[in-house]
Structure 1
Amino acid sequence: MPAVRVVVQARDQLGETPLWCPRSEKIWWIDIERPRLQSFDEHTGQHEVHRFDSTFLGSLALHRRGGFVVALDNSLHRFDPANASLEHIVDVEPAGKGTRLNDGRCDRRGRLWIGTMDAAIQQPLGSFYRVSPSGSVQWLFDDIIVTNSVATSPDDRTLYMSDTRRFKIWAFDLDPDEGVLTNRRVFADYSNDKGRPDGAVVDSDGCLWNAVFAGHRVIRYTPAGKVDRVIELPVTHPTCVCFGGPELRTLYITTATKMITPAVLANEPLAGALLAVEVGVQGLPEPMFGS
């Protein structure tokens, strides 16, 4: 079993969406409910925090023009950490629906695939969207409680996403030219043990790594949906994963302190930390939003 390393003891409430940025050579991630964007430089040990005036910071992506796409409540913005500037991109959903943006990821055509969720985590109020590099939004489908596990295969011909509270990850055929999803099917089913599929990433072998919220583990699936590897973790709530480092061989894992009783939390010192594991597998460069 590979050793789990503590990168930053951030004590995040709901750490999420780690991304390796090749421009800054830093690992970046968010704390959704505080809300804040964080970075850590493994060479210097510098941990930086950028705070936002919103209720939620639900998702994060790299932007081709520099900086990041940040999902603040139900809107997307380009954020430049150098001067803390925010540039509005688009409102994905109107305010007042009881929803917020959650997990999303770009494909290699510069499109952002992202979903909304019920902010109260109970009702199927969420929808799934495709946001073009120009910022136009295309609604795809609804009936989602919590969108998660968004990732694409190395050839952009398969898209994965989950509804965490329905305990399933689905796979879709993706037309990389037209951006059309078809052939929705169950890829991984956690229904028997009520595992909660959270954030995911695809490696250079085309395998999907999935963080299991409330499951103490990260699971690697082959493209056929077979469990290939399980990494047990010293935390209840791993939330998302990415590959980083100069050679993209380090698996970074965000975690949360949310929804843990005080008694359990007192005995879980790494809850909310950014963790890392050397898994002997190479990741893929993170796709960027924009043209």
Structure 2
Amino acid sequence: MEIEVVVPGGATIGEAPTWVAAEAALYWIDIKRPALYRLDPATGAQRSWPMPSDIGAFALTADPPGAVVALRTGLFRLDFASDKLDRLAPPPFDPKLFRFNEGACDINGRFWIGVMFDPLTEASPPLKSSMHSFTLAGGLRPEPDAAELHNGMAWSADNEIFYLSHSQRQAIFAYEFDPAAGRLGAPRLFASVPKDDGLPDGAAIDDLGGYWCALHGGGRLRRYKPSGAVDCDIALPVSQPTMCAFGGADLEDLYVTSASDQLMPEQRRREPLAGALLKLRPGVSGLARSYLVR
């Protein structure tokens, strides 16, 4: 399969590709060289908003145009016109031990934000922290799911299933979901990922109900059938893909972010595209994903 390099290697931890159809643009972040980016694929032009601390997730705002950014130091509102950051909420965890990791908006504009145990200094064995949701009106709300590392957020076409990975457990779960109330129901194990295949990272859903998962450390994208059975793997020229998102006018392009952190110098020489933003056409269309927080 032809794989196009959209942005060359170099991101420390590229993440959260988000297609905005109204702008024909792709937003994404670099967590550890913290910044939010907006890419115009037609021209290659890219704008960036540097951040003062690790950025784990974002959601866009319509009025005024901007974003809610989930930083290690809390939730902030970014105004695109002025570049000004206004704090909305302090971090719901000890920022010396945790940071936000991955986020996604449900159909009603509630911003779901996971966490990662990522201590700034040597610390105890990995600890768990709660996932949260956020609205502009209601603020942060703790959710009944705790993990060392949340990833893989996605919703089924009917919005009644919420997918979520506990990456350190090598597990992907499917939760019953009430879209009106924004409530999680009972989880079930959707898929287990063998350690040799990599960590289950960010994900996307196609219009046939397939769940596409980036396998961090495994150098591949894996499509799961709605049953949870493995359908196929697509090998990538990077060992640490982090997330995938459908985009383009027909949602037939699949964008993939990747990371270069924790690679030794010899690995970096063998993997010049580490940290690149990639694009491929897997032969299926994606579901339009919500991205506006309300």
Under TM normalisation by the shorter chain, which class is it?
over 0.9
Q: Is the 8 A contact 1:62 1:286 kept in 2?
A: no
Q: Following superposition of structure 1 onto structure 2, how do residues 145-160 of structure 1 map, counting pairs within 5 Å?
A: 145-160=148-163
**Could you say if the C-alpha distance between residues 11 and 205 of structure 1 is closer, same or farther in structure 2, counting changes exceeding 3 Å?**
same
**Whole-angstrom distance in 1 between the partners of 2:274 and 2:211:** 24
Determine helix, strand or coil for the equivalent of 2:266: helix
Secondary structure at the counterpart of residue 196 of structure 2: coil
TM-score (norm 2): 0.91
What residue ranges of structure 1 are gaps of 5+ in the alignment?
none
**Does residue 57 of the first structure (1) align with residue 55 of the second (2)?**
yes
Where does 1:236-247 land on structure 2 (aligned, <5 Å)?
A: 236-247=239-250
Separation (CA, whole Å) in 1 of partners of 2:23 and 2:76: 20
Which residue is 2:185 aligned to? 182
1:28 paired residue number: 27
Question: Hey, what does 1:267 align to over in structure 2?
Answer: 270
Counting only pairs closer than 5 Å after superposition, residues 1-291 of structure 1 correspond to structure 2 as 2-54=1-53, 56-65=54-63, 66-96=65-95, 98-120=97-119, 123-191=126-194, 193=196, 195-291=198-294
Q: What amino acid is aligned across from residue 214 of structure 1 in structure 2?
A: G
Distance across 2 between alignment mates of 1:133 and 1:106: 12
Q: Determine if contact 2:14/2:29 at 8 Å carries over to the other structure.
A: yes
Structure 1 contact 74–99 (Cα < 8 Å) conserved: no
Partner Cα distance (1:63, 1:35) in 2: 19
Q: Aligned pair count?
A: 289
Instruction: Mark the runs of 5 or more structure 2 residues left unpaired by the alignment.
Output: none
Of 198-207 and 94-103, the range deviating more from structure 2: 94-103
Tell me the distance in 2 between the aligned counterparts of 1:36 and 1:135.
Answer: 26
Deviation per CA, 1:170-229: give whole Å up to 9, x if none: 110001122221221111101453620011111222221110000110011122112222
1-side partners of 2:245 and 2:24: how far apart?
Answer: 14
82 and 281 in structure 1: CA distance in 2 versus 1, 3 angstrom threshold: farther
Distance 1:69 1:284 in 2: 23
Aligned-residue Cα RMSD (Å) equals 1.9
SS at match of 1:289: coil
Identical pairs, percent:
37
Decide which moves more: 149-158 or 112-121: 112-121
Give the letter aligned to residue 59 of structure 1. Answer: A
Deviations 1:256-279 (A, max 9, x none): 111211111111111110000011
Query: Following the alignment from structure 1 to structure 2, what is the Cα–Cα distance between the partners of residues 10 and 80?
Result: 28
